[in-house]
Structure 1
Amino acid sequence: MPSSEAARPLVSVIMIYRDAARFIDEAIASVQAQSLPDWELLLVDDGSSDRGPEIASAWHAREGGRIRLLQHPGGAWRGTAASRNLGLRSARGSYLAFLDADDVYEPERLARHVACLEADPALGVVLGRELYWHSWHAGSPPDWISGPALQPGRRYTPPDALLATLLTRGAAIPAPCSITFRREEWLAQDPIPERFHGHYEDQVLICRLLLRYPALVIEDCLARYRQHPASLTEGNAPLERVAGSAANRARAEFLDWLRGELAGVGCLSPELVTWLDAEAAAVAGAGERSGRSWRRLARHSLPQAARVPVGRALNRWRGRGARRRAMQQVAQFERGRAGRSSLAAARDYWNERIDDTRLSDHPRGSAGFYAALDAHRLRKSDYLLDYVDFAAWAGHDVLEIGCGAGLDLVRFARAGARVTGVDLASRALELARGCCAVAGAQAELVEADGAHLPWPDASFDLVYCLGVLPFAPDPAGVVAEAHRLLRPGGTAIFMVYNRHSWMQLAARLGFLRLGHADAPGFRVYSRTEFARLLQPFVNCRMSSARLPLGQAGRRGAAARILASGMRPVLGPFGWHLLARCRKAL
């Protein structure tokens, strides 16, 4: 009987997919049609909700052990980095290759790459060229072939292949479908950092390989890299031009990671430092364009009487010159760095600032103290009692991620829910215990990171997470955990801060300060970015709240006068961006 080592396939192809029913059949068929017969295909389902898994299962039934089906626990969405890592850990082949579910291999793709690796045992990586494939759809732009940053036929010693790619104007790091590498080379690497859950995770892996292992570039174009609006490559083009978009933040994070990686292998030359600085400045400089959306609002949406004063204020803001714009770029880049803060930094910050004693004259921990905190909360979130029907959760299991002082936990408990609260900060949990004790409410309270929670799948009916994602070190991980912990048909309620809000504008004009804007990882979201973050859920209803109409003091009175009769116009510009999401049955 052959050993398991003898039964190992020559090459493992890893295909990650999510809601890819439209294209996955063609992608799998292109692997099945390879002239090299000794392969296995790993199909990694990243939380699909369409027919993609059915198509994958049908291929598995036809091909048997050559096609293997993988998914995350509970069928959860974990993002592209976690899914590639799952495929890499599970692969058995001597060589590894990727094919995304919307791309296609030519029949000689595996044979040609494997032959190069077999002919040179010291070779770690083979790079081909790929067709940027538009013509699959009628009326699309012409196809084009990648290159020529790297010279075909040349064997590059590390890190020359990567440096040539980075420093060639207009060149791109090769696509995943055009690279094959030895399994042993991967085993020497760390997993792809899972914070790269939607952009750049493939480039992180490819950069690591090209920094460390000899690479051969071949002339052959043996993969078709499909371009369509839902693909990452095609989709990034417009996103890169949107100020503060998810793609811009992802690129800033990738550039920061790349700087550290280059420094770690001792090849951070002055030329590369200049290139990295220029790229980072280009990403940060997109923030300058964000004022244009507000100028369009002033020109087209505001009543005629308000356009002149608002327009003048915007022009004064814009006219503060290059120094102001440079400061904004630095601030945006520093916020991006803060967004990658450690759990320890976030925990320390909130342990110091969770309790604002200025909100109450009552002794800390007393009934009057908590009543003052609650009154302040309801002034800030005057929509809360209308938006959340606390009584509807009687008899249900409710988890609050980021419970803070426990004010909403008590509301759920008083309504008859079985409540559990989680917070990263121990001082927050002390306050929450005191709040529950004063109210006579029962709650389980746990100190934990919201992206790594201890309960089994499908433990709760409601996950409640207001104002946490803007500060979480791993917001996508928090959303994935919420999805995992919900029972089928369960509800999640999230709140983030609205990038296109009246408060953002007021803060930029110097009229107010945003609370906790100095916190590690503080970020704001557009509706598009928020929707992308909530991808694990199949049904999300989004709305905005917290308009200036309810603010206190002289500024609040002025805001109410200015905003009188403008509620329909201001509706989308509330500071709080809310989403009510449902997990599929």
Structure 2
Amino acid sequence: MSQFEISRKNSEFWNELCGSGLAKVLGITDSSPESLKKFDDWYFDFYPYLFDYIPFESMKGKNVLEIGLGYGTVSQRLAESGANYTGLDIAHGPVSMVNQRLAQNNLPGSAILGSILEPQLPAVTFDYVIAIGCLHHTGNLKFAIEQCHNLLKPGGQLIFMVYYAYSYRRFRMTPLLTIKNMVKEAFGYRGVVGNGSNRQRAAYDASSNGGGAPHTDWISERSLKDYCGAFTSFKASVENIDQESPFRSTPRKDLLKTRWPSIVGLDLYATATK
């Protein structure tokens, strides 16, 4: 697909809020403060390590841009922290949800419609750019990171999560491709692992009808560091695991206490400082 087509399909796909399936399981049928709190409590309990990466306590008075808004859980927490909050999403649904959250909680800030590949925002403006689980869907991960760099002030930080190329799920679903990429990287290749089949993409992000996200990239820590070469510093670690093969017999909360998430986890959490 062309970049235009990827962006168009992303706008359609992500209009259904990321987390809609979970909301249904939790019995959430509206967007009242009580229902959203129920969603948010589950979310932060499921991803407890988010607080290790996003310094909410340091956001007060800072210009913060969040990219990829989903159900707005992180968005509301950022605004509640006292940040000068701006949200950016390619789809109307998340933008509407975040603006509703801000309004009904009397929080400052706003969410706007747009793409990080073509941000209608002034350069050198933000102290933080937060992007949890979205840059790998843009169709051009490297350029998306470059755009984030442009938007940051000197000393500002890009804090983001992308999908890890060498997770247990990748080894299980695409063992030959994963090993091939490891060999390529050993010989100097730096870049993403391709878009993959609908089945592979849906294993990470699926709509209510089971379709996978229009585009997904997976990347190693080594290649991600190369993509962040314009930043003065970079650090990353592997997180997240699910109760699935080969860990099906162990509850997820117990799995999170093991070393497996830091070795073959699903996600890379990175902080790059301009």
Show the counterpart of 1:515.
Answer: 204
Cα distance change on mapping 1:475 and 1:570 into 2, 3 Å? closer
Q: Which structure carries more helix by proportion?
A: 1
Rounded to whole Å, the distance in 2 between the matches of 1:385 and 1:359 is 25
**Aligned counterpart, 2:125:** 459
Q: 1:546 to 1:526 in 2, by over 3 A?
A: same
CA–CA distance in 1 between the matches of 2:95 and 2:150? Answer: 23
Q: How does 1:416-495 map to 2 (within 5 A)?
A: 416-495=82-161
Deviations along 1:368-398, whole A, 9 cap, x unmatched?
A: 3212332342244221123222011111110
Query: Does the CA-based 8 Å contact 2:167-2:266 persist in structure 1?
Result: yes
1:278-315 residue CA offsets vs partner (Å, 9 max, x unmatched): xxxxxxxxxxxxxxxxxxxxxxxxxxxxxxxxxxxxxx
Residues 385-437 of structure 1 show CA distances to partners (whole Å, capped at 9, x for unaligned) of 23222011111110001122221121122111110000000011111122223
TM-score between both structures, scaled by the size of structure 1 = 0.38
Detail structure 1 runs of 4+ shifted over 4 Å in the superposition.
Answer: 337-341, 506-510, 553-557, 563-566
Amino acid at match of 1:368: E
Which residue, out of 223, 242, 249, partners 1:558? 249
Structure 1's 527 and 407: CA in aligned 2 closer, same or farther, altered over 3 A?
same
Match of 1:348? 12
Counterpart code for 2:205: H
Match of 2:32 in 1: 366
Aligned to 2:189: none
- Residue 136 of structure 2 aligns to a residue in which SS? coil
Q: Which has the higher contact order (CA 8 A, sep 6+)?
A: 2
User: Are residues 543 and 426 of structure 1, via their aligned partners in 2, closer, same or farther at CA, if it must alter by over 3 Å?
Assistant: same
Shift of 1:338: 8.5
User: Once superposed, what is the RMSD of the aligned Cα atoms?
Assistant: 3.0
Report if aligned partners of 2:126, 2:151 keep a CA contact under 8 Å in 1.
Answer: yes
Give unpaired runs (5+ residues) of structure 2: 176-198, 207-211
Report the AA paired with residue 515 of structure 1. Answer: Y
Cα pair distance change 1:381/1:506, threshold 3 Å: farther
Equivalent residues of 1:466, 1:494 under 8 A apart: yes
Q: SS at the partner of 2:229? A: coil
What does 1:400-415 correspond to in 2, within 5 Å?
400-415=66-81
- Which one-letter code corresponds to 2:238 in the other structure? S
In our comparison, the structure showing a higher alpha carbon Rg is 1
1:191 corresponding residue in structure 2: none
Q: Deviations over 1:231-257 (max 9, x none)?
A: xxxxxxxxxxxxxxxxxxxxxxxxxxx
Aligned length: 241
SS at match of 2:259: helix
Tell me which amino acid in the other structure corresponds to 1:344: R
Cα distance between partner residues in 2 of 1:379 and 1:391: 18
Aligned amino acid, residue 155 of structure 2:
G
Percent identity between the aligned chains? 23
Which residue in the other structure is 2:268 paired with?
577
* 1:346/1:557 CA distance change after superposition, 3 Å: closer
Shift of 1:362: 3.1
Matching residue's letter, 2:250: A
- For residues 497-529 of structure 1, the C-alpha deviation after alignment (integer angstroms, 9 at most, x for no partner) is 11111233455699xx62316111112112222
CA distance in 1, matches of 2:42, 2:257: 25
Name the CA shift for 1:346/1:389 in 2 (closer, same or farther; >3 Å): same
Change (3 A) 1:566 1:451: same
Q: Does the CA contact (< 8 Å) of 1:462 and 1:486 recur in 2?
A: yes
Instruction: Tell me by how many angstroms 1:463 deviates.
Output: 0.6
Deviation at 1:554, TM superposition (A): 11
User: What pairs up with 1:109-508 in 2 under 5 angstroms?
Assistant: 341-352=5-16, 354=18, 355-356=20-21, 357-507=23-173
CA distance in 1, matches of 2:104, 2:29: 13
Specify the code of the residue in structure 2 equivalent to 1:568.
R
CA contact (8 A) 1:398 1:419 kept: yes
Distance (Å, rounded) in 1 between the aligned partners of 2:55 and 2:213: 30
Can you give the 5+ residue segments of structure 1 that lack an aligned partner in the other structure?
1-336
Between 386-395 and 462-471, the greater mean CA deviation after superposition: 386-395
